[in-house]
Amino acid sequence: MIIKTLTHDHEQDLSTILQLWNANAIEMASEALTHQDIQAIQTQLLTLMKSPYANVIVAKKNNVVIGYATMTIHHDLAEDFYYGLVNELFVIATNRRSGVASHLITASKEWFVTKNIEAVQIYVALDNPKAVEAFKANGFTPEFTLLMND
């Protein structure tokens, strides 16, 4: 397995990420993405790929994308410090519990270090205990519970 940064010359990998993102939506929300959603996500990914404050990485096994992560740098204005946020991390079901997520997490943290970012956050759904455990096993600790008013 290899972890690599997604660049503009990897159009097929971008298409695969969009398919995986849709699979994640179906798995987590029981609803497929609309064509409009997919277009918006593609635009977002292309923007992240161009930004010096963001990164998109893929995990590949036998030259097939089996997972991805997106990350961004944010500025906390109140405390005046920069922190990293892993926005998305997904591994296809057949490759879970095999270390792929750990490799993506490690690569994400390493990218943040190259940007002089030490504090890294990630949002994880509370109803996804396996993901919570994966992040805990990789050095993350629960800090807050985010409540939403839908």
* 145: in domain: no
* 38: in domain: yes
Q: For residue 55, what pLDDT is reported?
A: 96
Backbone angles phi, psi at 107, to 5 degrees: -65, -35
* 64: in domain: yes
Q: What is the CATH number of the domain that holds 62?
A: 3.40.630.30
pLDDT tens track, the chain, 150 positions: 999 999 877 778 999 999 999 998 998 888 999 999 999 999 999 999 999 999 999 999 999 999 999 999 999 999 999 999 999 999 998 999 899 999 999 999 999 999 999 899 998 888 888 889 999 999 999 888 778 887
Q: For residue 56, what pLDDT is reported?
A: 96
* 51: in domain: yes
* 57: in domain: yes
Q: For residue 29, what pLDDT is reported?
A: 86
Tally the domains of the chain.
Answer: 1
Catalogue the long-range contacts made by 21-26 (C-beta closer than 8 Å, 24 or more residues apart). Answer: 21/88, 21/90, 23/90, 23/92, 24/88, 24/90
User: What is the distance between the alpha carbons of residues 131 and 69, in angstroms, rounded to a whole number?
Assistant: 13
Nearest 5°: CA angle at 59, between 41 and 33?
25
* 102: in domain: yes
* 148: in domain: no
What is the residue range of 116's domain? 2-137
* 105: in domain: yes
pTM of the shown model: 0.89
CA atoms within 13 A on the CB side of 52: 3
Backbone angles phi, psi at 31, to 5 degrees: -150, 130
DSSP 71: E
- Cβ-based neighbour number of residue 143 at 10 Å: 6
